[in-house]
Amino acid sequence: MSQDTVVELLAELIAFDTTSHRSNLPLIAFIEEYLARYGVASRRVTDATGEKANLYATIGPVDRPGVMLSGHTDTVPVTGQAWRVDPFRLTVEGERLYGRGTADMKGFIAAVLAAVPALVESELAVPVHLAFSHDEEVGCLGVRTLLADLACQPVRPAACLVGEPTSMKPATAHKGKLAVRLHVRGKACHSGMAPEGVNAIHAAARLATWVERTAAAKASRGPFDARFAIPCTTLQVGTIQGGAALNIVPQDCRLDIEIRNVAEDDPEALLGELMAVAAALEAEMREISPEAGIRLERLSDYPGLSMDDDHALVAFILSLLDERELERIGYGTEGGLFQRELGIPTLVCGPGSMAQGHQPDEFVTRGQLARCEAFLVRLIDALSGPEARRRLAAGELLDDATA
C-alpha cells in the first residue's frame, strides 16, 4: 500500500458529489468495480427508493466473524460556503489535501480501499468486513437497512471500527441525539385585534424557553459524564420560523429542537416532558381557537456510544496504533447503532479532524493518511498468518470475540 494509491483513490471518491440529498449509487458502483478487480464479492443493501445503497463485503474466511471497517459515503452540502478550491476536485497543496469529504470521511474509505490488495493477498485467520453506508449526515438513516440485513445473516462482525475523523485517536464514547420539529398552529387575525387570535410565535417562544431552562438545569445539576468536554446533556432550539407580516397575528410557527444526551439521560423522557408542556399550552390555545394545536415531527435520532476503556477491543486497537490516548467525541456516529442493534463492540478512529469536517476548504493531511495506512498494515498483520491462527484457536485473539 502506498500513499500515492490512497491519494489517487481519494481523488476518485471526492469527484463523486454524494451530498446527502443526492444518490450515492455512482460511488457505490465505483467501489463495487474496484473490489471486483481483486476478486472481492460485495452486496448492495438499497433504500426504499432504490436511489441509495449501502455496500458490504467480506475479505477472508466467510464462516467466522471478524473486524468491520465502517464508513459513510455521503457528505454535507457546500451550498452557502465560500470555498477557495473546487470542493469536488482534489486539490493538493503540500501537506494538505482539499475537497468535500476529505476528512469526513472519504480519506478513511480511500485508505481502506488501498489496503484491499494486501487484505486479499494475506492469509487472514480473521476476516475483515467492509461496510459503506449512506445518509449518515442526516441522522444515521441509511445504515439501518444494513443493520437489518446483518441481523439476518448467519455470521456478523465481532468488532467494528468506524473511521470518522479522530486524528487517529480511538474514541470510546459519544453522546446520543434526538432531533424533533414542533409545528405550532395558531389563529391569524389583524394585529389590532390581537387578543382574538392565537399567536403561534408566542406559543413557540414558551416552548423555546422550556428548552433553554432545561438546558441550564442539565448544565448545573447533571447528570454528568466527565469523559466529555461538555459533560452534560445539551438541549437547544436550532431554527425557528413563523409569521407573515408585522400587522398579522402569526398563525404558524415551527421550531427545531435538538437533544444530545449522556448515557444516564433518557432523551425520550426529556421529549415526554417537553410534550407535556406542549399539551398544557395547546389546551390554553384551544380556549380561543379549537383549531389551534401543536404537532410533533421526529427528524432523527441515534443512540450514544459507550465502551469500557478496558474492553479487549480497546486494548487490541491501541496495540496497533502509535497512540495511547483515548478520545470521547462530541459528534455522533453510526457506532452507537452497531453497538445497540447488533451488540457489536465498536470504536471510532480515523484520519483527519472534525475541526475541518463540514467546513469550507475541508482538508486532510498526508500525515493523517499515513498514520491510517500504518494502522491498517498492522491490523492485517495481526489478523493474518500462523500466529493469528494459533491465537484464534487458543481463544486469545480479541479476547475470544472473534472465535
What is the rounded CA–CA span in Å between residue 205 and residue 282? 13
Q: Where are the alpha helices (DSSP H) in 173-320?
A: 200-221, 267-288, 312-318
CA atoms within 13 A on the CB side of 173: 21
Q: Is 74 a catalytic residue?
A: yes
Q: Check if the beta carbon of residue 308 is closer than 8 Å to that of residue 314.
A: yes
Which residues contact residue 231 at a Cβ distance below 8 angstroms, ignoring those fewer than 6 apart? 222, 224, 225, 262
What is the rounded CA–CA span in Å between residue 76 and residue 78? 7
Q: 25-37 and 3-14 are packed helices; what angle lies between their axes, rounded to 10 degrees?
A: 150
Strand, coil or helix: what is 37?
helix
Residue with cell 398563525: 251
Cell reading at 17: 458529489
CA angle 307, 222, 239 (to 5 degrees): 90
Q: Nearest CA to 260 among 228, 298, 240, 234?
A: 234
Catalytic residue among 32, 104, 135, 136: 136
What is the rounded CA–CA span in Å between residue 254 and residue 285? 16
What is the rounded CA–CA span in Å between residue 96 and residue 84? 14
| Other Cβ atoms closer than 10 A to 356 | 20
Catalytic residue among 74, 327, 334, 361: 74
Q: Is 136 a catalytic residue?
A: yes
Cα distances from 401 to residues 28, 159, 267, 312, in angstroms, run 30, 8, 31, 8
Cell reading at 66: 471478524
Q: Which class for 371: exposed (0-12), middle (13-18), buried (19 or more C-beta within 10 A)?
A: buried
**Cis amide linkage into residue 154, ω under 30° from 0:** no
Cell reading at 394: 487458543
CA atoms within 13 A on the CB side of 177: 23
Catalytic positions, written as ranges:
74, 136
